Structure 1
């Protein structure tokens, strides 16, 4: 793909994304917008958060500044009616849905004996139920798209005892997203609806990282969300019948696309490897 082709690869295509008021979701939306995509974003943040930057409206402004069309929809990915309204908005405004991005996610790494049932339910409801609801609502319209993609922000299935044991409930919720994505790749292969996962090679400087006790220090060794945005845009620009059923790592996607220098995404010389990757597992 030439540079000029890449710059307009998503021109006129419609992408719906959950949890896009900031962080990785917003970065994906902005990167797709730079290639001319229409973005319909779902998030709960209508009013400024006291500790977190951005609202669904500032996100929409960022998307439009990048060259795309943006329609913000206030809602909760856990609620079927809100998800249906998101997809209906995409169809009403832009005529359909070409790309479904399951980004919204909750995390708690508390040990099992300290993890509250409320946090457990939240992870299952947002990560697994939300991914199911959004994809299900998009499917009738994805079937009509000439290049349909589902992209889920979830890790490769690493059955190492370490990742199974370090935070079982969070692992369960993220692997649940992965299993859905890989299952959909087979379920809708004949319909030519691609379904893939994308996961970062390193920590990403989002609120999930900066809100930790050593957040500022960790952020210095984390890459920016833009690396996930650019990798996501590269995946969904490809023909759907050529790329499905895979768990991609952001840096590998960009290197395959010819990006040899990842320094512009930050993180320093030794960025922190992300969860679920062998490089991040403590060596005995």
Structure 2
């Protein structure tokens, strides 16, 4: 690969939710573009995920706050620091609002909001010393409009992450750290398979809803855009939510 295509050369990248569809694509793209990558996820998924050989696997359960903190330090120690953090992990509960139980609410809050908050806090001192440092929080338009399925618990945590992204961007900006959120299109993934059949992701359904009249792009295309924006190329992007759904909201 030509040098100009390795636009993450030497950068150190941490990706959560690395065993899922978008997570695997993020790790593979970062590796392809020259980054050193730490990939985190729950066991046994992260141990068996199809990831580049050079990727460092850091098992962690993001429902545990101590493990959220520990994974940042483990990743930074093994990579020699951090330049880009991608909070991609998420939990989805698909239930009508009146049927949500306390365990449902706690699970989505712990993974979707508390975990990225703790990871952003713990990564701060490393990013302050990083090269073109950036944090990407993967969100959803369900955090804006509540979603098209009964995913109110998921939506409210993503709404919280969208807001905290803006607040953290203001605070971290003085230290040269960019923080933005990104809402990917409805790609086929393990998490989305919990949706009812009539609301499941399909190529024809997404294509019919898209203003561009095209199906959702593959995870690799989303990963490339995400990391390119997180790199020094996206130097003015901070405090905003990038919506890649092509009006599928």
Shared fold, TM over 0.5: yes
Equivalent position of 2:212 in the other structure: none
2:164 maps to 1:180: yes
Q: For residue 87 of structure 1, what is the aligned residue in structure 2?
A: 72
Using the TM superposition, give the Cα deviation of residue 97 of structure 1 relative to its aligned residue in structure 2, in angstroms. Answer: 0.6
Measured after TM superposition, the shift of residue 6 of structure 1 is: 4.8
Say if 2:16 is the partner of 1:18. yes
Give ranges in structure 2 of 5+ residues lacking alignment.
Answer: 205-215
Match of 2:134 in 1: 149
Q: TM-score, normalised to structure 2's length?
A: 0.84
Match of 2:82 among 97, 106, 109: 97
Change (3 A) 1:204 1:171: same
Aligned-partner Cα distance in 2 for 1:189–1:149: 10
Alignment of 1:27-46 (within 5 A): 27-46=25-44
Distance 1:205 1:167, change over 3 A: closer
Asked whether 1:208 is paired with 2:191, we answer: yes
Q: 5 Å matches for 1:217-256?
A: 218-221=201-204, 222-239=216-233, 241-250=235-244
Deviates more, 1:142-151 or 1:223-232: 223-232
- Tell me if the contact between 2:95 and 2:150 (Cα under 8 Å) persists in the aligned partners: no
Residue 38 of structure 1 contacts residue 70 of structure 1 at CA under 8 Å; is this kept in 2?
yes
Q: Which residue of 1 aligns with 2:110?
A: 125
Q: Secondary structure at the match of 1:218?
A: coil
Which of 155, 168, 172 lines up with 1:171 in the alignment? 155
Cα displacement (A) at 1:156:
5.7
Shift of 1:185: 0.9
Q: Secondary structure at the match of 2:135?
A: strand
Give how far 1:34 is off: 0.8
Equivalent positions of 1:242-281 (< 5 A) are: 242-250=236-244, 279-280=248-249
Equivalent residue number for residue 199 of structure 1: 183
In the TM superposition, what is the alpha-carbon distance from 1:241 to its structure 2 partner? 4.5
CA distance in 2, matches of 1:237, 1:37: 11
CA–CA separation in structure 2 for the residues paired with 1:14 and 1:241: 17
- CA 1:220–1:155 in structure 2 vs 1: closer, same or farther (change >3 Å)? closer
Offset at 1:249? 2.6
* Counterpart secondary structure, 1:63: coil
> How has the CA–CA distance of structure 1 residues 217 and 176 changed in structure 2, closer, same or farther, with 3 Å as cutoff?
closer
| Secondary structure, counterpart of 1:198 in structure 2 | strand
Residue 62 of structure 2 is aligned to residue 73 of structure 1: no
SS of residue in 2 equivalent to 1:41? strand
Deviation string 1:14-56 (CA, Å, 9 cap, x unpaired) is 111111112111111111111011111111132xxxxxxxx31
Give CA deviations for 1:117-156 in whole Å, capped at 9, x if unaligned: 1111111111110111111111110011121000000136
1:7 to 5, 8, 30: 5
Deviation of 1:183 after TM superposition, in Å, equals 1.1
User: What's the C-alpha RMSD, in Å, of the aligned pairs?
Assistant: 2.8
